Amino acid sequence: MNSMKIKLLFFMVILFLIGCKEKYTPKPHAFFRIDFPKKQYHTLPNGFPYKFDVPNYSKITPDKYNPEQPFWINITVPENRVEIHISYYDLEKKTHSKKTQLAELMEESRRLAYKHSIKADAIEEQVFMNPGKNVFGMIYKISGNAASPFQFFLTDSTSHFLRGAFYIREVPNIDSLQPVIDFIEPDIIRLIETTTWN
């Protein structure tokens, strides 16, 4: 029985040595498969103090964390785990001056965008102006492994202030998420370019 164990062990060692001629190459981690729908849009339903186009494949839901704010919404694309948070402020309803309120909201939007600078490779600012619709603002494009790759604010400077932040509910990994970012970015640009005030 002892010689049988020795023969078996010897056979296994020989088999191991013969089978290990090639170097081991680890396989890379796989990323989740991403399917994108065809781009089609419709206008946000009535009842909001703002209006813009949203993709047909998105869902509009109230912001459950701020139920006291009826015009704060989330635009979601569940298939790609995308959320665009929209918050809205009526500059007419504040007790202090519109100028002070507007400056505070603009600075808060900037601060929230630059909060991602720890993980970001770069933050690109772009001024947005649509004088015909009385819509002005700033777009923050955040490159790298930041949790929010795109943020913006829009205002008419007197009555309306709207802020948006784009999130993907996955671990930030720019290599795997870049296709989603590239797919959603034109939707956000269209949202911004079609914004009007009610």
164, 152 Cβ separation under 8 angstroms: yes
d(CA 164, CA 41): 18
- Mean pLDDT value across the chain: 87
pLDDT in tens, 43-95: 998 899 999 999 999 999 999 999 999 999 999 998 888 999 999 999 988 65
Retrieve residue 182's tokens. 């590239």
Domains of the chain, start order: 41-197 (3.40.1000)
**Is residue 96 very low, low, confident or very high in pLDDT (cuts 50, 70, 90)?**
low
Alpha helix ranges (H) inside the chain: 2-19, 98-114, 174-193
pLDDT at 79 (0 to 100): 85
d(CA 117, CA 148): 10
Nearest to 48 by CA among 72, 29, 16: 72
d(CA 151, CA 109): 8
How many other C-beta atoms can be found within 10 angstroms of the C-beta atom of residue 137?
Answer: 22
DSSP for 15-30, written as a single string: HHHHHT-SPP-PPPPP
As a whole-number percent, the residues of the chain with pLDDT over 90 amount to 59
Would you say residue 29 has pLDDT above 70?
A: no
Alpha carbon 139 to chain centroid, angstroms: 13
pLDDT at 116 (0 to 100): 81
Would you say residue 169 has pLDDT above 60?
A: yes
User: Span 114-141, mean pLDDT?
Assistant: 92
User: Span 94-99, mean pLDDT?
Assistant: 65
pLDDT at 80 (0 to 100): 85
- φ, ψ for residue 147, nearest 5 deg: -70, -30
Nearest to 56 by CA among 44, 64, 46: 44
User: Is 93 or 104 the better-scoring residue by pLDDT?
Assistant: 104
Would you say residue 28 has pLDDT above 70?
A: no
User: Is 186 or 19 the better-scoring residue by pLDDT?
Assistant: 186
pLDDT at 118 (0 to 100): 76
159, 197 Cβ separation under 8 angstroms: yes
- φ, ψ for residue 79, nearest 5 deg: -60, -30
Q: pTM to 2 decimals?
A: 0.78
d(CA 87, CA 114): 18
